[in-house]
């Protein structure tokens, strides 16, 4: 068992380190990619609500929720996302499969800690544009891949019953690769410009969580996190090449980027507030609101049609369990989840704000003891047809595993 888990961690670290195309959206061209949906499957299935926590549930967004756990817990999540992309010129279809998170959380008598991996941004696109240049037909091809991943270490304490505080240190790392290729009719060679950025940085998340019992079974939960401004350092290189029509390399030379060879890019401060109410082990309804002052810009890209403004997200959702301790009915122990979210991404193209909306639903299937398999779907829409842009309709199919069996419980610290 231990060897299998260790092997999985090694494979997962390799997958994150070498990058994974978790998106194929033209909107990821801007900045350093689209913000990743980096929370656990259970939270994503209730619209991204992260305020809920108990002895077997916590949030990757709020380190304070770790102190609510009673058992050592291992989690992993994957997703499959088919997308229909619509423009004024027609439709197209893409799909991606990605590893969403990997974490191990350990509660002790006086504190709790967690570590793992998750994505922060994802970049992936393929765009073809035809046009005219000096009355010559041109074909321009844009392609990109990469993104920013995070390895994290969280720590939480509970000074008084019901109240916990936490801090999470994140090391952000990754790369982006962007290729611009242009073919001009009657010109023997194509032109290709290749840009690579090596990315790294550290940021911190401070969190608080409070649970107030009401009467015997009801409880009110409140949460808050604050992420200060942080930097993402970028080491940038760019080459220009001439290609023959059969794809062979004719010539290549490095472009001197000057002061842009090393850049420091700022992540804006972020606040996430949540509140919820529920009946213990039966049902819960919650809401979260997230706000960041400005999106992350990329100084290598100067485009007058692009603006970065404040971003925000509001999430609603909840769950219902018919009878969590039923010995005779499996269906009664299943968790049923439902939610919705609306997000202003902070990206403005051609004077059109890019928005993302989704409705979510899913189930949590008990698998012996305290372990669960969580299966859910998010049906959503990103972007708009206004301003000559692209509208994306997607179905994000989520699968999450939560393991808290005897192997882990024996290793709980007292």
| DSSP bridge pairs for 140 | 129, 182
Report the percent of the chain where pLDDT is more than 70.
Answer: 90
Does 220 reside within a domain?
A: yes
pLDDT band, residue 349 (cuts 50/70/90) = very high
pLDDT at 249: 66
Does 364 reside within a domain?
A: no
Does 382 reside within a domain?
A: yes
**Separation of alpha carbons 31 and 276, rounded Å:** 34
Average pLDDT over residues 42-56: 95
Radius of gyration of the chain (CA): 23
Does 369 reside within a domain?
A: no
Does 6 reside within a domain?
A: yes
Number of domains in the chain: 1
Tell me which residue range forms the domain holding 188: 2-353+374-409
Does 362 reside within a domain?
A: no
Contact 390, 87 (CB under 8 A): yes
Does 366 reside within a domain?
A: no
Domain CATH code at residue 235 = 2.40.160
Burial class (CB in 10 A: 0-12, 13-18, 19+), 14: exposed
For residues 348-360, b (16+ Cβ closer than 10 Å) or e, as one string?
Answer: bbeebebebebeb
**pLDDT surpassing 50 at residue 409:** no
Does 328 reside within a domain?
A: yes
pLDDT at 369: 74
Say which residues have a Cβ less than 8 Å from residue 42's Cβ, sequence separation at least 6.
57, 335, 337, 364, 374, 400, 402
pLDDT at 189: 84
Nearest Cα residue to 23 out of 106, 124, 94, 138: 124
Read off the pTM. Answer: 0.89
CA distances from 217 to 34, 213, 281, 282, 370 (A): 41, 7, 9, 9, 21
Token duo for residue 9:
């961690």
Mean model confidence pLDDT for the chain: 88
Higher per-residue confidence, 47 vs 186: 47
**pLDDT surpassing 80 at residue 38:** no
CA distances from 323 to 45, 83, 282, 340, 401 (A): 20, 37, 7, 25, 21
pLDDT at 222: 98
For residues 292-326, b (16+ Cβ closer than 10 Å) or e, as one string?
Answer: bebbbbbebeeeeebbbeebebbbbbbbebeeeee
pLDDT at 146: 93
């Amino acid at each position: 068992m231990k060897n299998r888990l260790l092997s999985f961690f090694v494979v997962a670290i390799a997958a994150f380190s070498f990058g994974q195309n978790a998106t194929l959206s033209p909107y990821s061209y801007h900045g350093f990619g689209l913000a990743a949906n980096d929370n656990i499957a259970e939270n994503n299935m209730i619209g991204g609500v992260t305020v809920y926590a108990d002895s077997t549930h916590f949030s990757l967004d709020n380190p304070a929720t770790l102190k609510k756990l009673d058992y050592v817990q291992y989690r992993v999540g994957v997703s499959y996302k088919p997308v229909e992309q619509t423009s004024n010129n027609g439709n197209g279809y893409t799909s991606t499969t990605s590893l969403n998170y990997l974490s191990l959380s350990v509660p002790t008598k006086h504190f709790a800690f967690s570590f793992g991996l998750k994505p922060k941004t994802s970049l992936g696109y393929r765009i073809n544009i035809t046009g005219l240049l000096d009355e010559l037909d041109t074909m321009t091809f844009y392609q990109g891949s990469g993104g920013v991943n995070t390895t994290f270490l969280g720590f939480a304490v509970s000074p008084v019953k019901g109240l916990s505080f936490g801090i999470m240190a994140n090391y952000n790392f990754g790369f982006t690769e962007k290729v611009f290729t242009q073919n001009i009719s009657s010109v023997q060679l194509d032109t290709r410009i290749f840009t690579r950025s090596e990315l790294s940085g550290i940021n911190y998340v401070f969190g608080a969580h409070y649970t107030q019992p009401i009467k015997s079974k009801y409880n009110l939960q409140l949460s808050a996190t604050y992420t200060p401004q942080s930097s993402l350092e970028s080491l940038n290189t760019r080459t220009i090449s001439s290609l023959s029509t059969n794809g062979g390399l004719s010539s290549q030379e490095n472009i001197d980027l000057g002061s842009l060879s090393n850049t420091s890019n700022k992540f804006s401060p972020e606040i996430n507030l949540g509140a919820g109410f529920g009946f213990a082990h039966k049902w819960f309804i919650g809401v979260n609101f997230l706000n960041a002052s400005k999106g992350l810009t990329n100084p290598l890209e100067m485009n007058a049609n692009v603006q970065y403004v404040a971003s925000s997200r509001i999430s609603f959702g909840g769950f219902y369990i018919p009878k969590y301790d039923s010995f005779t009915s499996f269906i009664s122990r299943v968790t049923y989840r439902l939610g919705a979210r609306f997000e202003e991404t902070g990206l403005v193209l051609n004077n059109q704000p890019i928005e993302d909306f989704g409705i979510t639903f899913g189930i949590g299937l008990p698998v012996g003891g305290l372990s669960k398999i969580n299966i859910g779907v998010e049906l959503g829409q990103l972007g708009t047809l206004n301003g000559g842009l692209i509208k994306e309709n997607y179905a994000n199919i989520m699968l999450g595993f939560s393991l808290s069996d005897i192997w882990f419980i024996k290793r709980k610290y007292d």
